[in-house]
Amino acid sequence: MLLAIDIGNTNSVFALTEGDAIRATWRCVTDTKRTADEYGAWLTQLMGLEWIEPQQVTAIVVATVVPESLFNVVGMCRRYFRCEPLVVGDSAVHLGVEAKVDRPREVGADRLVNGLSAHRRYGGPAIVIDFGTATTFDVIDGDGNYNGGVIAPGINLSLQALHMAAARLPRVDIKRPEKVIGRNTIACMQSGVYWGYVGLIEGIVARIRAEWDAPLKVIGTGGLVPLFAEATNVFDHVDGDLTLHGLIAVHALNSSAPASSSATASPAH
């Protein structure tokens, strides 16, 4: 059984997989102060609720955009699962694709994994839109290579900025408002953020397609993608488990003969 770990800026996801199937997933807040023992106790207890023993885990793969969390996560893998994890970004870990950008090592591990997953599952060329702490747009060519993209502030960051910068604006939840024109402060804020992001998505996709000058599929992922997918027809596919399937693919690639080309990434966006 493979344990796939995706450490994001806000949340971390731990998933147990068998072949291409995801058997169970758990999510926690990313906390750089969490120790290896805290990770291990938390995860093994949750696994026990699913009648899964630590010794059933035979391999682990990790992608992180938070370097400070990696040490304790790796320590947890060694102590509680007796496994040396594959870490996306290590020079020995092959992705089988190339990062065709000015500084390949600056590309976030999650973005490369998403690109690999999107190409394998849906083909290319494609745009991968990930709704995380930041909203990222990543361009994958027909061979699966990473060709750059766009980084925009995430939805929750925008809401937080409105609340913190304007004394009289409250903290609100993101939701699709019934009408564009709000009749109260909360409705106005929700409309601005929601429909503003719909416009951002459609506008950036249109500009990327015009610059690429070729058809591009659009794949959406991240926790908030279903909320926005219902308001626009820009998405060809919505896949909330895109990153996890990419980690499964990374493990499969590195369990066989190394690919002829590879891309490396640092754990940062």
What positions carry a catalytic annotation? 110
Q: How many Cα atoms are found within 13 Å in the side-chain-facing hemisphere of 103?
A: 7
Q: Taking Cα atoms as reference points, which of 76, 49, 50, 46 lies closest to residue 62?
A: 76
The response to whether 13 counts as a known ligand-binding position is yes
The response to whether 7 counts as a known ligand-binding position is yes
Distance CA 9, CA 133 (A): 6
The response to whether 238 counts as a known ligand-binding position is no
The response to whether 111 counts as a known ligand-binding position is yes
Report the run of H or E that residue 152 belongs to, with start and end.
Answer: strand 146-153
The response to whether 11 counts as a known ligand-binding position is yes
The response to whether 240 counts as a known ligand-binding position is no
User: Which one-letter DSSP state was computed for residue 94?
Assistant: -
Report the run of H or E that residue 22 belongs to, with start and end.
Answer: strand 21-29
The response to whether 6 counts as a known ligand-binding position is yes
Token readout for 149 is 């993209």
The response to whether 192 counts as a known ligand-binding position is no
The response to whether 110 counts as a known ligand-binding position is yes
Q: What is the secondary structure of 181-241 as a DSSP string?
A: S-SSHHHHHHHHHHHHHHHHHHHHHHHHHHHHTS--EEEEESTTHHHHHTT-S--SEE-TT
Token readout for 9 is 């800026």
The response to whether 10 counts as a known ligand-binding position is yes
Burial environment of residue 219 by CB neighbours within 10 A (0 to 12, 13 to 18, 19 or more): buried
The response to whether 123 counts as a known ligand-binding position is no
The response to whether 8 counts as a known ligand-binding position is yes
103, 152 in Cβ contact below 8 A? Answer: no
The response to whether 141 counts as a known ligand-binding position is no
The response to whether 9 counts as a known ligand-binding position is yes
3-class state of residue 148 by DSSP = strand
Which residues fall in the annotated binding site? 6-13, 108-111, 130, 133, 185
Annotated binding site for ATP: 6-13, 133
> Which residues are annotated binding-site positions for K(+)?
130
Binding-site residues for substrate, in ranges, read 108-111, 185
